Amino acid sequence: MRPGFFRGLVPYWYIAPAFAITVAFSFVSMGLSLHASLHDFDAFVGSTGFVGFDNYRRALFAEDSYFWLTMRTTVLYVIMSVFGVLITAVPLAMLCRRVPRGQAFFRTLYFLPSITPGVVIALIFYHLFGNWGQLLDRSDTALPALASLGVWAGAGYNMVIILAGLADIPPHLYEAARVDGAGLWQQFRHITVPMLRNTLVFVTVMTIISSFQVFTSVYIMTLGGPERSTEVIAYTIFINAFAVAGQMGYASALAWLLFVVVSFFVFLQMRIFRSRSVVD
């Protein structure tokens, strides 16, 4: 063995524990679930036989499959969330900058839901939505109610990100525009929006990714009801995996289908994430 061989190994010892954990709980686990998705699989018994792509076929093509229904519900939730976030967070951030005093106070208050356990928020709104007209008991209002809860909870977080984006716009652009006689709307339309584009794309993509995964509010408040109107994909996966015996393989197949859908947006996010970090 040549001298320095062990010293050459030192860096690998530094990264080994972190690397093992992160890889085990991402790639390895996805591999295991791919394996499980090709089997009849039970959480306690394990595999009870290879079934090929039957679980996928069942989710995608079977007559009694709820996959497309839950996917549709999830996408509806995502769309409502994105619109809700964009029409609240941008005005909030712009207003917050104009407030003569107490900016820090508002930022703190608006941010609270981001650091409150989702279970607690869901338990509170379970009652509030009841008080405001049984919103969760009707299949046409339950999903919008859940989406509005998501928007409420994310408002401060998104506001903080947009505030940072606004702060990066050089003030002289506005000064120049004013010298040229541009009004407030024109300044917003031709300076704020284009300069904020990357931030808005980032916020949108982050909202899409996190809304695709919504679970806690559904689990606490509606259990997917009424009439399956709030059964989102993450909830379906959970129920199949842990509430129905022997459906772990099917649930794994659903998880992989969700992965494929969300991956598209995650790729987008990674590209933005990297370009941002280069700037930083």
By CB under 8 A, what part of segment 121-180 binds other proteins? 121, 123-128, 130-131, 152, 155-157, 160-161, 163-164, 171, 174-175, 178
Of the chain, the end-to-end C-alpha distance in Å amounts to 44
Q: Which stretch binds other proteins (CB under 8 A): 64-72, 75-83, 137-145, 251-259?
A: 251-259
Sort residue 220 into left (φ over 0), alpha (ψ -120 to 50) or beta. Answer: alpha
Minimum CB–partner distance for residue 52 and other proteins (Å) = 19
Nearer to other proteins, 136 or 241 (CB): 241
Please report which residue ranges of the chain form alpha helices under DSSP H: 5-23, 29-37, 54-61, 67-98, 103-111, 118-131, 142-167, 171-179, 184-187, 193-195, 197-212, 216-217, 233-242, 248-279
Choice between 42 and 54, CB closer to other proteins: 42
Choices 54-62, 63-71, 77-85, 104-112 (CB under 8 A): range interacting with other proteins? 104-112
CA-to-CA distance for 231 and 214, rounded, in angstroms? 10
Find out whether 242 and 43 touch, Cβ atoms under 8 Å: yes
Token readout for 156 is 């401060």
Instruction: Pick out residues in 209-248 that bind other proteins (CB under 8 A).
Output: 209-210, 212-213, 215-216, 219-220, 234, 237-238, 241-242, 248
Pick one of 33, 222, 230, 236: the residue that binds other proteins (CB under 8 A): 33
Q: For other proteins, which is the closer residue by CB, 9 or 140?
A: 9
Label residue 134 left, alpha or beta by phi (over 0 means left) and psi (-120 to 50 means alpha).
Answer: left
Closer residue to other proteins in complex, CB, 141/219? 219
- How far apart (Å, rounded) are the C-alpha atoms in residues 250 and 29? 16
Binding mask 174-213 for other proteins (x = CB under 8 A): xx--x-----x-----------------x---x--xx-xx
What 3-state DSSP class applies to 137?
Answer: helix
Minimum CB–partner distance for residue 84 and other proteins (Å) = 13
Shortest Cβ distance from residue 141 to other proteins (Å)?
A: 18
Burial (CB < 10 A; 0-12, 13-18, 19+), residue 10, is exposed
Q: Does 79 bind other proteins (CB under 8 A)?
A: no
Distance of closest approach, residue 175 Cβ to other proteins, in angstroms: 8
39 forms bridges with which residues in the sheet?
A: 50
Distance CA 103, CA 64 (A): 53
We find the least distance from the C-beta atom of residue 237 to other proteins, in angstroms, to be 6
> Of 2, 49, 115, 243, which one interacts with other proteins (CB under 8 A)?
115
Closest contact distance (angstroms) between CB of 94 and other proteins is: 6
